[in-house]
């Protein structure tokens, strides 16, 4: 695990975009694992700028999203299908055939069908050659994807019940109305995430400081799902000074070249 501390959210996002762009330039048919939420927004904006101004080509890139809410249609403004389309996909030259986002339109009462669908999603990742670089945010409780505290560290893609803490984290996207947030989501599992060749986790703000300290310096445990990244040989954690404010060790200033 490499920890990189930047001044603020903008610098975190630009450094993350540099890492992603380096991979795409060197391997045009890269497979990217994508995240949603507020954390990667500026990263995606910088990738859009690089595409439009610097010619960064996504035409051969394949993408797999981490997760999706259950029972939100793709057209819903808070669905992750909608988020990705509005904040990245429609602004760059990704081939729609190479875009993969879990379907939220599954019957939560048909567990066998959900399990088959989750197995299918994992099979698509395997057919694509696996994830080259997985982008992650982190919840205030240390969750990655929708792998809440207590999730198995070897878990695979599956349906998860969202905790109150995660709902509170996401309430701003639903105008603060917790009753509008879906109860369930489909998410890549921790074991699935750990199979990515590189992992890039971003965090900013003092509200993430405790989670970052537990992730980087605490014990590896299911209570803090992101702590498993300590066991990944090629995990990069890029945080701003606020998110790093509880760390007790001095960390690196520069990220390595990926290839």
Q: Please state the rounded mean pLDDT for residues 221-243.
A: 97
Asked if 120 and 114 touch (Cβ cutoff 8 Å), the reply is no
For the ranges 45-54, 165-174, 242-251, the lowest mean pLDDT is seen at 165-174
pLDDT score, position 166: 79
132 is catalytic: no
Catalytic residue among 141, 214, 232, 242: 141
At 42, the pLDDT band (50, 70, 90 cuts) reads: very high
At 250, the pLDDT band (50, 70, 90 cuts) reads: confident
Q: Which of 127, 118, 147, 163 is nearest to 35 (CA)?
A: 147
67 is catalytic: yes
Q: Please state the rounded mean pLDDT for residues 117-135.
A: 97
Could you give the percent of the chain with pLDDT greater than 70?
Answer: 97
123 is catalytic: no
Residue 259 has pLDDT above 70, yes or no: no
Give the start-to-end residue ranges of the domains of the chain.
2-195+203-240
Q: Which fold has domain 2-195+203-240?
A: Rossmann fold (3.40.50)
Catalytic residue among 46, 148, 195, 242: 148
Q: Please state the rounded mean pLDDT for residues 17-30.
A: 97
Decide the pairing of beta strands 62-65 and 99-100.
Answer: parallel
Residue 204 has pLDDT above 70, yes or no: yes
Classify residue 167 by burial, with Cβ atoms within 10 Å: 0-12, 13-18, 19+: middle
Asked if 133 and 32 touch (Cβ cutoff 8 Å), the reply is yes
Comparing 182 with 22, the larger pLDDT belongs to 22
Q: Distances in Å between the alpha carbon of 45 and those of 48, 219, 240?
A: 5, 35, 18
143 is catalytic: yes
pLDDT score, position 214: 98
Catalytic residue among 68, 81, 122, 143: 143
DSSP strands (E only) in 55-105: 62-65, 67-69, 99-100
Catalytic residue among 46, 51, 65, 67: 67
Decide the pairing of beta strands 67-69 and 158-161.
Answer: unpaired
At 162, the pLDDT band (50, 70, 90 cuts) reads: confident
Q: Please state the rounded mean pLDDT for residues 155-160.
A: 94
pTM of model > 0.75: yes
Residue 169 has pLDDT above 80, yes or no: no
């Amino acid at each position: 695990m490499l920890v990189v501390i930047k001044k603020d959210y903008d610098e975190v996002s630009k450094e993350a975009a540099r890492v992603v762009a380096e991979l795409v330039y060197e391997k045009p048919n890269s497979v990217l694992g994508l995240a949603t939420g507020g954390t990667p927004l500026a990263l995606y904006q910088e990738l859009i700028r690089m595409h439009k101004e610097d010619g960064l080509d996504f035409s051969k890139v394949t993408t797999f999203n981490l997760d999706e809410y259950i029972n939100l249609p793709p057209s819903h403004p808070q669905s992750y299908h909608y988020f990705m389309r509005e904040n990245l996909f429609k602004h760059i030259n990704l081939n729609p055939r190479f875009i993969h986002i879990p379907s939220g339109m599954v019957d939560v009462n048909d567990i066998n069908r959900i399990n088959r669908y989750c197995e299918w999603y994992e099979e698509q990742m395997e057919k694509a050659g696996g994830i080259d670089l997985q982008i992650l945010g982190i919840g205030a409780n240390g969750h990655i994807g929708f792998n809440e505290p207590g999730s198995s560290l070897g878990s695979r893609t599956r349906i998860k019940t969202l905790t109150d803490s995660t709902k509170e984290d996401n309430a701003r996207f639903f105008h603060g109305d917790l009753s509008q947030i879906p109860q369930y989501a489909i998410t890549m599992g921790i074991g699935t995430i750990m199979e990515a060749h590189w992992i890039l986790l971003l965090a900013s703000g003092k509200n993430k400081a405790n989670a970052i300290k537990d992730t980087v310096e605490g014990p590896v445990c299911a209570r803090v799902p992101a702590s498993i990244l300590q066991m990944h040989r090629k995990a990069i954690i890029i945080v701003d000074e606020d998110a790093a404010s509880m760390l007790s060790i001095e960390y690196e200033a520069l990220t390595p070249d990926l290839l």
